Amino acid sequence: MSLNQVLFLLAGAVIGLLLYRQLSPGRRLKSCGVRQVGAGETLELIKRQKAVVVDVREDREYRAGRIPNARHIPLGQVRFRLKELERYRDKPIVVSCRSGRRSASACLFLCKNGFSNVYNLKGGLIAWQRANMKMES
């Protein structure tokens, strides 16, 4: 491999890393105004501000256990069921999934559609359960 090829590959790797960091979900959430919240903060939002929890996991995951009173809208249906969330536009909306990745996508979608009080449950239901928070089935 020539020196030019090595330098070209290195430059490509650096550019790729920079793009990845710029486009990473956490950075995109922040730029859109979505906050990452832990289990304790989520519980406080529910208790003090009557936050609505939207669970974007698949049906079988949701049936296995969820945050009490969570609304179920699988990620693939969020764009088609946006009207269901319109009545919560003025309330905090905490979006949850298993690990926080699918919920991050849903948060971005809500933000891009004019919802300004959106939170992502950091670590998802995995973090919720690790914090020994109440679940319902």
Nearest-angstrom CA–CA distance, 20 and 14: 10
Residue 97 among the catalytic residues: yes
DSSP state letters, 20-62: HHHH-HHHHHHHHTPEEE-HHHHHHHHHHH-PEEEE-S-HHHH
Nearest-angstrom CA–CA distance, 56 and 71: 9
> From the CB of residue 34, how many other CB atoms can be counted at a distance below 10 Å?
26
Backbone angles phi, psi at 36, to 5 degrees: -90, 130
Nearest-angstrom CA–CA distance, 9 and 15: 10
List the catalytic residues: 97
